[in-house]
Amino acid sequence: MTAVAHSPEPVTGLILSGGGARAAYQVGVLAAIADLLPDTSHNPFPVIVGTSAGAINAVGLACGALQFGEAVRRLTTVWQGFHTHMVYRSDWPGVLRQAARFIGHSLLGLGRDVPVALLDSSPLRELLQRELDFSGIAAAVRHRQLRAVAVTAFGYESGQAVTFYQGRATIDPWFRHRRVGVPTRLQLHHLLASASIPLIFPPVKINREYFGDGAVRQAAPISPALHLGASRVLVIGVSGNAQLEPNAALPRVASTRPPSLAQIGGHMLNSTFIDNLETDIELLERLNQMSALVPPERRPRGLGLNPVEVLVIAPSRPLDQIAARHQRELPKALRLFLRGPGATKAGGAGVLSYLLFEPGYCSELIELGYQDAMTRKADLCRFLGLAEVAQPA
Q: Which residues contact residue 42 at a Cβ distance below 8 angstroms, ignoring those fewer than 6 apart?
A: 68, 145
Q: Does the annotation count 213 as an active-site position? A: yes
pLDDT value of residue 261: 54
pLDDT value of residue 205: 93
Taking residues 219-238, what's their average pLDDT? 88
Confidence check: pLDDT of 303 > 60:
no
381 within 8 A of 36, measured Cβ to Cβ: yes
pLDDT value of residue 92: 66
Taking residues 84-89, what's their average pLDDT? 86
Which of 213, 280, 320, 372 is flagged as catalytic?
A: 213
Q: Which residues contact residue 41 at a Cβ distance below 8 angstroms, ignoring those fewer than 6 apart?
A: 66, 67, 68, 69, 70
Cβ atoms < 10 Å from Cβ of 99: 13
Q: Which CATH architecture has domain 12-98+114-242+262-295+304-383?
A: 3-Layer(aba) Sandwich (3.40)
- Per-residue pLDDT of 229-260, as tens digits, reads 999 999 998 775 544 344 445 455 555 566 65
Domain boundaries, the chain: 12-98+114-242+262-295+304-383
pLDDT value of residue 68: 97
Element (H, E) at 123: helix 122-131
Confidence check: pLDDT of 201 > 80:
yes
Confidence check: pLDDT of 132 > 90:
yes
Predicted TM-score (pTM) above 0.85 = no
**pLDDT classification of 293: cutoffs 50, 70, 90:** low
Q: Does the annotation count 52 as an active-site position? A: yes
Radius of gyration in angstroms for the set of CA atoms belonging to the chain, rounded to a whole number: 21
Query: How far is CA 190 from each of CA 187, 332, 358, rounded to the nearest angstrom?
Result: 6, 31, 24
Least confident of 26-40, 216-230, 351-365: 216-230
Confidence check: pLDDT of 148 > 70:
yes
Closest CA to 223 of 177, 190, 271, 170: 177
Per the model's pLDDT, the better-predicted residue between 8 and 388 turns out to be 8
Least confident of 36-50, 277-291, 361-375: 277-291
Query: How far is CA 384 from each of CA 47, 136, 243, 377, rounded to the nearest angstrom?
Result: 13, 24, 26, 10
pLDDT value of residue 17: 86
Least confident of 65-69, 99-103, 231-235, 340-344: 340-344
Closest CA to 383 of 373, 369, 372, 393: 373
Confidence check: pLDDT of 124 > 50:
yes
Which of 52, 194, 231, 363 is flagged as catalytic?
A: 52
Confidence check: pLDDT of 134 > 60:
yes
Across the chain, mean pLDDT equals 81
pLDDT value of residue 198: 82
Q: Which residues contact residue 319 at a Cβ distance below 8 angstroms, ignoring those fewer than 6 apart?
A: 22, 25, 238, 240, 353, 365
Phi, psi angle pair for 213, to nearest 5°: -55, 130
